[in-house]
Amino acid sequence: MALRFVCLLISVGSVYGTFLEVILEDSVEFRPTAPCKEGENAQLLHTVHSQPVASLEAGSWKPGPLYIDRLNQSASLILRRVNVKDGGKYEFTCNGELELANIIELRVIIPHVLSVFDGDDAKLPCHSDTAEKPPLWQKDGMLPVFEMNDSGNKSSGRGWGGSRVSVADDWQRRGDMSLTIKNVTVSDGGLFLCKSSGPTVAVRLEVRGRPPPAPLTTPPPAPSTCPQWTASALLACVFLGVGIFLGWKLKSRKRQQREPGGGGEPMEVINSHPRGEGLHHSSSVNEQRRAEETRESDTDPQSSQPLVSNGHPRAGRSYGGGYGGI
């Protein structure tokens, strides 16, 4: 029974209390809906750890032990550098009594970070499966960027232009309320909030200057596919080439000396042919010499006609092998 009462109390508090949203690392100010009466002891409690956040003393809020470094003792109750652990329900009590109107629910929003170059198009994400109200986009707190009414009419804030910012027409069917910004500039950077019937979505847009084009550089030479010759290998190739040339030259000179008219003095080669052919050539040379000697002895020195032994010229002489018989 007690558990049901607590759950009901929280539910009622969510309806009648205050709902706050804060960006991570930002500051938030707590204000009681029903302030305590003069002379009553007022306190702000965080229900997560049941420790006092601050107590009102003599019109000034004094921070609790866990919040000394993030709360100033002043008439305003401002919590600085909010972290994710600060989310949840807070209660203002008067003399230990809780008023339903003094229940505060704090939601810490962690923004998406989107970084683009100057001149690019940017799409700031915002999705919700419970969104029924048309989206409202704001920048840096309250500056309107894009808004759509229930009839589907669209409007853009000052300096954005109707064509620079847009949301998809079927945002409700797909739950996609992302904002598209065309041709962003450095001044467009900042914190954007997407508000609808669902939770608020935050996007931090960072616009960077476009880097200059890289200078043209000559590509490195392609690796050589030729073998890397060493000095010793080159020297060996030179000597080999010289040796081949000298051998060819010597062989050519010897061949010229063996051939007729090839230069140098003629040489009579007797044994340059196989056996038998050399002997036949030698005997033929001897026969020719003896035939020439016989013709010289049988010829009259005063007559060009050859004479025979009986004083009449011979009609002719045939020479054969041997010593030139008739």
Structure confidence by residue, pLDDT tens digits, 134-180: 889 999 978 899 998 878 788 888 888 778 999 998 888 888 999 99
* Residue 105 located in a structural domain: yes
- Give the pLDDT score at 320: 43
Q: Are residues 32 and 95 in the same domain?
A: yes
List the one residue out of 125, 131, 150 whose CA is nearest residue 199. Answer: 131
- Give the pLDDT score at 223: 66
- Give the pLDDT score at 227: 55
Specify whether the CB–CB gap between 125 and 178 falls below 8 A.
yes
CATH number of the domain that residue 174 is part of: 2.60.40.10
Q: Which of 208, 227, 262 delimits the end of a domain?
A: 208
Residues 196-203 have a mean pLDDT of 90
Q: Are residues 96 and 28 in the same domain?
A: yes
> What are the b/e assignments for 281-290, b being 16+ CB within 10 Å?
eeeeeebeee
* Residue 312 located in a structural domain: no
Q: Are residues 125 and 179 in the same domain?
A: yes
pLDDT over threshold 90, residue 7: no
- Give the pLDDT score at 153: 84
Residues 69-75 have a mean pLDDT of 89
* Residue 19 located in a structural domain: yes
Lowest-pLDDT choice from 118-122, 139-143, 307-311:
307-311
Q: Are residues 102 and 141 in the same domain?
A: no
pLDDT over threshold 80, residue 113: yes
pLDDT over threshold 80, residue 182: yes
* Residue 313 located in a structural domain: no
Lowest-pLDDT choice from 2-11, 88-97, 135-144, 309-318:
2-11
Instruction: Report the predicted TM-score, pTM, of the whole model to 2 decimal places.
Output: 0.57
* Residue 151 located in a structural domain: yes
Question: Rounded to whole angstroms, how far apart are CA atoms 183 and 120?
Answer: 5
Q: Are residues 176 and 120 in the same domain?
A: yes
**pLDDT digits over 232-267, tens only?**
777 777 778 877 878 877 877 777 776 655 444 444
Residues 299-306 have a mean pLDDT of 46
Domain, as residue range, for 56: 11-109
- Give the pLDDT score at 273: 45
* Residue 145 located in a structural domain: yes
pLDDT over threshold 90, residue 326: no
Residues 210-224 have a mean pLDDT of 75
Specify whether the CB–CB gap between 111 and 121 falls below 8 A.
no
Residues 199-212 have a mean pLDDT of 92
Question: Rounded to whole angstroms, how far apart are CA atoms 54 and 11?
Answer: 25
- Give the pLDDT score at 313: 47
Q: How far is CA 126 from CA 121, 192, 271, in A?
A: 16, 10, 113
Question: Rounded to whole angstroms, how far apart are CA atoms 72 and 85?
Answer: 19
pLDDT band of residue 279 (cuts 50, 70, 90) is: very low
pLDDT over threshold 60, residue 52: yes
Task: Please give the residue that has the higher pLDDT: either 7 or 57.
Answer: 57
pLDDT over threshold 50, residue 35: yes
pLDDT over threshold 70, residue 118: yes
- Give the pLDDT score at 224: 57
pLDDT band of residue 293 (cuts 50, 70, 90) is: low
Q: Are residues 141 and 103 in the same domain?
A: no
- Give the pLDDT score at 289: 67
Residues 179-206 have a mean pLDDT of 93
Element (H, E) at 147: strand 143-148
List the one residue out of 88, 82, 107, 90 whose CA is nearest residue 199. Answer: 107
* Residue 318 located in a structural domain: no
**pLDDT digits over 16-33, tens only?**
578 999 999 999 999 988
* Residue 260 located in a structural domain: no
Task: Please give the residue that has the higher pLDDT: either 49 or 2.
Answer: 49
Q: Which of 78, 109, 140 delimits the end of a domain?
A: 109
What's the total number of domains in the chain?
A: 2
Mean residue pLDDT across the chain? 77
